[in-house]
Amino acid sequence: MRGKRDKHRRPPAAKGGVTRRDFLRGAGVTVSGGLLVGTQVGKAAQAPASSAVAGPGAVPVTLHVNGKVHRLQLEPRVTLLEALRNELDLTGAKKVCDRGVCGSCTVFVDRRPAYACDLLAIEAEGHQITTIEGIGSKDKLSPVMHAFVEHDAQQCGFCTPGFVMACTAFLERNPNPTLEEVEKGLGGNLCRCGTYAGIRLAVLDAAKAMKGGSHA
Amino acid sequence: MPKCKYDWPEAGDRGLIGESIDRVDGAVKSSGRARYSYDVHPSGMLYARMLTCPYAHAKITSMDTSAAEKLPGVKAVLVIQPVGSEIQWAGDEIVAVATTSEAAADDALRLIKVEYDQLPFLVNEEDLSKAGDRAKPSAEQKSGDPDTAFKDPDAVISEGYYGAQVITHCCLETHGSMADWRPDGKLKTWSSTQSVSDLPGQIGEGLRLQKVDIQNSDIETVCQYIGGGFGSKFSPDRWGIVVAQLSKQTGKPVRLMLERDQDLEVAGARPSYYGKVRVAGKKDGTITGWDSDTWGTGGMGPSGNPPVPYVLEGIPNQLKKHTRVNTNIGPSRAWRAPNHPQAAILTMCALDDLADKLGMDPIELLKKNIDFAPEILRQAYVEELDKAAELAEWKKYWHPRGDKTPGHLKRGLGVSIHTWGGRGHASTCLIAIHPDGSVDVKLGSQDLGTGTRTVIAITVAQTLGLPVDGVNVMIGDSAYPKSGASGGSTTVGGVSGSTRRGAIDARDQLFAVVAPALGVEPTQLESVNGRIQVTGDPSKSLSWKQACAKLGVKTIEAQGKNPGQCKLGDSGVGGAQIADVTVDTETGLVKINRMVAAQDCGLIIDMKTAESQVYGALTMGVTYSLFEEKVMDDQTGIMLNPNMEFYKLAGIGDIGELVVHMMTGPGYDERGVIGLGEPPVISPGAAICNAVTNAIGVRVPTIPITPEKVLAALAKGGMA
Ligand code: FES
Ligand code: FES
């Protein structure tokens, strides 16, 4: 359990003061829980912040991702998103705003949706992380992925993995959504190409498809 | 006249063409497996970042990079603009670093010390009186006798002020690339680009300007997937040169993607456009004169000069003045349908005001004057206006200006029409039919999410009588035959033309091989339903596989080109849109009830991705009409919202119902393929402005229509 691990509250102090990036990452332990998307806050947020310090250099971090265990050496300031993309080559989660606004980096933390850019990798220790690579593949599309293709709910596709994850989590909590609920429940993801019309249809359709219990 | 051999099939014979077909890369995208430039990550790759200038206008007086150079993990420090350089916008690139981790790059940038002398700047141009000598009169045009037209005592004259803000592109994948300069001297880049075929030449030129030696032929650019471009990703940009230099210097692959704030500050802006417009008309609605005094900024470069009066370009007696304002806001770039959304706002809002003055329905006013539009589109506009009116229930919901129903929620409808060219660009492809029956199509094109791969697959599949998945589309690599950049809605016409011609020639070669086996002349064969058969006689046929097996070990190859023989495409489309909004006069919030688009684009290859273009354009249109703005600070000269919480994009709950109708059939299809990316994004701004005016009875002059502006307009005299 990660509560045992020492955590830093601040990244290594390079000269020149604390930047926004440092602040976000350094404060992540206490801040990020509040930024987890979903109705409840993940365990990470409930663990009291330790006053001890990890880092500034790399520390061992064990991540459980898509059912596999990965032992990594990471600086404590590395976000979960960076760890997934740069260390594990799981690039379905995208870095777009890098500050918890757009949802393009959405993953599941213990099956709840979370913005991976808003969590430190060390905070994710002890939790089951699921990325889009863990819920389906090109040849074995999940019901939501399938509905996205069918309703052309994607153009450039850069927002799509985040949306697929958000939609999947949304439908698990709300298997019979109304259009209004879809529009509210998916307000945490942004698309620039303008695929919302297709996404609305895809979610409603996937809801029907998932009734058979064929969850992703 | 003999039918030309490459012509599109006649109606009834088009098979896949025009059907609603899933995009061929849908599964790879929705499963998160599509690899964008941002995702390419070979082992040993270094991360590059750039230090940028914090001032809107400044001169670099000193620089010290020594501490950064000594930091562990730093592999290269490259000065982009040396001491003495004059910087013209905040966010301009000064120094780049390449490091072993993203975090080390941040640390290194913080250790670099740069000092500047600040210089005077201007970053806001709507108030022209403050622009001083930054305002440069750039065009004045006169036709007919505007003076007399506006003095005519019988003329009804409307007068107004309208405008559109500076917005950015905000592609979700920021600009940038991964560059790998290999020991053999060859450079390969994975670039987020709208211009795969042209990029190596541009990169080569950029490198040689930096005194780095390389031949264009030693550069290859790959872009399989791109996370948005919208007109902002045609060139490698300075960072595309820098990343190659860093790779050469370090001997490692290096990735340099812009940070979000940099992307919003420097990687693209749509020029603003403001103007005072007068329109003269007769009581019967015939427009008799146009007078506009306009200005706008595109940073230090050209601001563009939007074509007004828009669509109704034949309005007699015009006087037009335009002033360009040089500002330190960063460079402008082509933004989906350059100049047109701005022109639509000034024109369609001014005409809406004239209609109101005349007591006319604005749709009737447009139709009454439709002969001022280019002849080829007049009929289409009338049909599109009628169709849009029907779908928007115009007769039921439109009312003279100002919703008189009691309460604070006011509903209104507004209309706009638009045009675009969209002729296919130059494109070359190579089509191979292999003895095992597989078919490859190679071309150096790119799919921006518009459906280019799908259109190519459908074109070739239909021509060869195969299913869509019988065609292997290979694009996104400059090693393939050269095909044009994806801009200006030129791609679909270009790639459908080249691949249609190539596929016909490849098919004819196959016919020549197969004909003896079927005991007929090659000209008597057709390829349909996965078979090669004697025309109209399925009993004399070979399956596609059997036919291809006759090739022995030889692959058939054919080149296809656009432009070329036979008319496969055209230029010039029209479209009409209607916005239906509700405005809360207490909060100033505008809610979109419905957006309706009736759009033509000649012959449609894939109905599904075509409609997606229009849905997307309506959504983007709502976004730039209500939310987006590059907000610049007069005091500091910097952009105040270079992030996605304050540079606002519409969310899934903000767009209302979207209704899309594609105009097809006689009068449209026989024009051949015409591009669609730009046109539907043009009208939303004007239609929404007019709908808000129709709802509250007073005009909010400029977009974005924020609650603050709505309340200010109401305070001046609306329905509150
Ligand atoms: S990248 Fe994480 S929310 Fe935008
Ligand atoms: S599909 Fe391009 S950002 Fe959503």
Mean pLDDT score of chain B, rounded to an integer?
97
- Whether the CB of A164 is below 8 Å from some CB of chain B: the reply is yes
Q: Phi first, then psi: what are they for B145, rounded to 5°?
A: -135, 75
d(CA A190, CA A30): 25
State residue A216's pLDDT score.
Answer: 43
d(CA B548, CA B511): 10
Q: How many CA atoms lie within 13 A of B562 on its CB side?
A: 30
State residue B19's pLDDT score.
Answer: 98
State residue A50's pLDDT score.
Answer: 52
- Whether the CB of A120 is below 8 Å from some CB of chain B: the reply is no
What is the nearest CA distance from A137 to chain B, expressed in angstroms? 5
Residue B698 CA to ligand 2 centre (angstroms): 35
**What value does the mean pLDDT take over residues B267-280?**
97
Smallest Cβ–Cβ distance between B612 and the set A95, A198, A200 belongs to: A198
d(CA B687, CA B664): 23
Q: Give the nearest chain B residue to A104 (CA atoms).
A: B172
User: Which residues lie below 8 Å from residue B386, measured CB to CB, with a gap of 6+?
Assistant: none
Ligand that lies nearest to the alpha carbon of residue B172, given by its number in the listed order: 2
Smallest Cβ–Cβ distance between A145 and the set B30, B173, B608 belongs to: B30
Residue B184 CA to ligand 1 centre (angstroms): 39
Ligand that lies nearest to the alpha carbon of residue B450, given by its number in the listed order: 2
Residue A196 CA to ligand 2 centre (angstroms): 9
Q: Give the nearest chain B residue to A77 (CA atoms).
A: B103
CB A158 less than 6 A from any atom of ligand 2: yes
In this structure, the number of other CB atoms found within 10 A of the CB of residue B483 comes to 30
Residue B120 CA to ligand 1 centre (angstroms): 36
Question: Residue A15 pLDDT more than 90?
Answer: no
**What value does the mean pLDDT take over residues B319-342?**
97
Ligand that lies nearest to the alpha carbon of residue B259, given by its number in the listed order: 1
- Whether the CB of A87 is below 8 Å from some CB of chain B: the reply is no
Question: Residue B96 pLDDT more than 70?
Answer: yes
Q: Do A91 and B35 touch (CB under 8 A)?
A: yes
d(CA B339, CA B329): 18
CB A195 less than 6 A from any atom of ligand 2: yes
Residue A192 CA to ligand 2 centre (angstroms): 5
Q: How many CA atoms lie within 13 A of B227 on its CB side?
A: 29
Beta sheet of B135-143, edge-to-edge order: B135-143, B318-325, B287-296, B273-281, B156-164, B702-703
Residue A1 CA to ligand 2 centre (angstroms): 37
d(CA B489, CA B486): 7
Q: If pLDDT is split at 50, 70 and 90, which confidence band does B3 have?
A: confident
pLDDT in tens, B552-567: 999 999 999 999 999 9
Note the CATH architecture for domain A143-212: Orthogonal Bundle (1.10)
What percentage of chain B exceeds 70 in pLDDT?
99
State residue A8's pLDDT score.
Answer: 32
Burial string for B337-368 (b: 16+ CB within 10 Å, else e) reads bbbbbbbbbbbbbbbbbbbbebebbbbebbbb
B31 CB neighbours in chain A (<8 A) are 92, 132, 136-138, 141-142, 145, 161, 164
Q: Phi first, then psi: what are they for A70, rounded to 5°?
A: -125, 125
Q: Give the nearest chain B residue to A193 (CA atoms).
A: B616
Question: Residue B205 pLDDT more than 70?
Answer: yes
Question: Residue B678 pLDDT more than 60?
Answer: yes
Q: If pLDDT is split at 50, 70 and 90, which confidence band does B303 have?
A: confident
∠B203-B208-B214 over CA atoms, to 5°?
75
How many Cβ pairs closer than 8 A exist between chain A and B? 201
Domains and CATH numbers, chain B: 37-120+175-257 (3.90.1170.50), 338-422+570-715 (3.30.365.10), 427-439+450-473+480-562 (3.30.365.10)
Q: Do B172 and A192 touch (CB under 8 A)?
A: yes
> What atom in ligand 1 is closest to the CA of residue A105?
2
Q: What is the residue-wise DSSP string for B639-676?
A: BS--STTTS----TTSS-EEEEEEE-STTTGGG-B---
Q: Do B30 and A198 touch (CB under 8 A)?
A: no
State residue A29's pLDDT score.
Answer: 34
**What value does the mean pLDDT take over residues A122-141?**
98
Q: Do B612 and A155 touch (CB under 8 A)?
A: yes
pLDDT in tens, B349-368: 999 999 999 999 999 999 99
Q: What is the pTM of this model?
A: 0.94
Q: Any idea which of B142-151, B294-303, B400-409, B572-581 has the lowest mean pLDDT?
A: B294-303
**What value does the mean pLDDT take over residues A203-216?**
78
State residue A38's pLDDT score.
Answer: 36
CATH number of A2-134: 3.10.20.30
Identity at B41, one-letter amino acid code: H
Nearest to A152, CA basis, from B78, B399, B355, B29 = B29
- Which token pair is A147? 């509905």
Q: Do B31 and A152 touch (CB under 8 A)?
A: no
Q: Best of A87, A156, A179 to disrupt the B interface by mutation (most B CBs within 10 Å)?
A: A156
CB A155 less than 6 A from any atom of ligand 2: yes
- Which token pair is A117? 């850019």
Q: If pLDDT is split at 50, 70 and 90, which confidence band does A212 have?
A: low
Q: Give the nearest chain B residue to A79 (CA atoms).
A: B103
Q: Do A19 and B106 touch (CB under 8 A)?
A: yes
Residue B231 CA to ligand 1 centre (angstroms): 24
Residue A103 CA to ligand 2 centre (angstroms): 12
State residue B105's pLDDT score.
Answer: 97
Ligand that lies nearest to the alpha carbon of residue B451, given by its number in the listed order: 2
- Whether the CB of A88 is below 8 Å from some CB of chain B: the reply is no
B113, β-bridge pairs: B64
CB A193 less than 6 A from any atom of ligand 2: yes
Question: Residue A1 pLDDT more than 90?
Answer: no
Q: Do B39 and A91 touch (CB under 8 A)?
A: yes
State residue A4's pLDDT score.
Answer: 31
d(CA A71, CA B569): 57
Rg (CA), chain A: 17
Q: Best of B29, B46, B226, B596 to disrupt the A interface by mutation (most A CBs within 10 Å)?
A: B29
pLDDT in tens, B450-480: 999 999 999 999 999 999 999 999 999 999 9
Q: Do A156 and B228 touch (CB under 8 A)?
A: yes
Smallest Cβ–Cβ distance between A194 and the set B67, B227, B617 belongs to: B617
Cα A203 to Cα A141, A194, A195, A208, B88: the distances in Å are 14, 16, 12, 9, 46
In this structure, the number of other CB atoms found within 10 A of the CB of residue B14 comes to 16
Ligand that lies nearest to the alpha carbon of residue A96, given by its number in the listed order: 1
For ligand 1, atom 3, the nearest C-alpha belongs to: A100
Q: In what helix (H) or strand (E) does residue B324 lie, and over which residues does it extend?
A: strand B318-325
> What atom in ligand 1 is closest to the CA of residue A117?
2
What is the nearest CA distance from A64 to chain B, expressed in angstroms? 19
- Whether the CB of A195 is below 8 Å from some CB of chain B: the reply is yes
Q: Do B619 and A138 touch (CB under 8 A)?
A: no
Q: If pLDDT is split at 50, 70 and 90, which confidence band does A56 have?
A: confident
**What value does the mean pLDDT take over residues A138-159?**
98
Q: What is the residue-wise DSSP string for B559-599?
A: EEEES-SS--B---EEEEEEEEEEEETTT--EEEEEEEEEE
User: Looking at this predicted complex, what is its ipTM?
Assistant: 0.97
**What value does the mean pLDDT take over residues B132-145?**
96
Let me know: does B330 contact B258? Beta carbons within 8 Å: no
Query: Which residue's structure tokens are 């966010």?
Result: B91
**What value does the mean pLDDT take over residues A48-54?**
60
**What value does the mean pLDDT take over residues A31-37?**
35
Choose one of A36, A104, A158 to mutate for the ligand 1 pocket test, by most ligand atoms within 8 angstroms of C-beta.
A104
State residue B137's pLDDT score.
Answer: 95
**What value does the mean pLDDT take over residues B516-525?**
97
Q: Give the nearest chain B residue to A183 (CA atoms).
A: B653
Q: Give the nearest chain B residue to A179 (CA atoms).
A: B653
pLDDT in tens, B32-91: 999 999 999 999 999 999 999 999 999 999 999 999 999 999 999 999 999 999 999 999
Smallest Cβ–Cβ distance between B609 and the set A16, A152, A194 belongs to: A152
Q: Do A101 and B107 touch (CB under 8 A)?
A: no
Q: Give the nearest chain B residue to A158 (CA atoms).
A: B227
What are the extents of the domains in chain A?
Answer: 2-134, 143-212
Q: Give the nearest chain A residue to B642 (CA atoms).
A: A97
Residue B596 CA to ligand 2 centre (angstroms): 21
Let me know: does B250 contact B182? Beta carbons within 8 Å: no
Taking the alpha carbons of A170, A171, A176, A178 in that order, is the dihedral positive or negative? positive
> What atom in ligand 1 is closest to the CA of residue A97?
4
Choose one of B25, B38, B171, B172 to mutate for the ligand 2 pocket test, by most ligand atoms within 8 angstroms of C-beta.
B172
